[in-house]
Amino acid sequence: MTLATPPSTSGASRAEPAVRAVGLLKTFGPIRAVDDVTFDLLPGRIYGILGPNGSGKTTLIRLLVGLTAATAGHAEVLGVAMPSRPTLGRIGYMTQSDGIYPALTAGENARFFAAAYGVHGPQAVSDALRVVDLADRVDSIAGTLSGGQRRRLSLACALVHRPPVLFLDEPTVGVDPLLRVEFWAHFRALVDNGATIVVSSHVMDEADRCDELLFVRSGKLIARGSGTDIRREAGTDDLEQAFLRLGGDQPAIR
Higher pLDDT, 131 or 111: 111
Higher pLDDT, 253 or 106: 106
**Does residue 4 have a pLDDT over 50?**
no
**Does residue 2 have a pLDDT over 50?**
no
Mean pLDDT of 170-191: 86
The Cα 17–Cα 169 span in angstroms is: 20
pLDDT at 249: 62
The per-residue pLDDT of the chain, averaged, comes to 89
Handedness of CA 17, 93, 162, 178 (dihedral sign): positive
Percent of the chain with pLDDT over 70: 91
**Does residue 79 have a pLDDT over 60?**
yes
The structural domains of the chain, ordered by start, are: 1-90+164-249 (3.40.50.300), 100-162 (no CATH)
Mean pLDDT of 142-165: 93
Mean pLDDT of 210-219: 95
pLDDT at 196: 98
Mean pLDDT of 221-245: 91
**Does residue 170 have a pLDDT over 50?**
yes
The Cα 57–Cα 51 span in angstroms is: 7
**Does residue 45 have a pLDDT over 60?**
yes
**Longest Cα separation, the chain:** 58
Nearest to 149 by CA among 134, 136, 159, 163: 134
- Note the pTM of the prediction, 2 decimals: 0.87
The Cα 75–Cα 146 span in angstroms is: 36
Higher pLDDT, 139 or 52: 139
Query: Which amino acid, 199?
Result: V
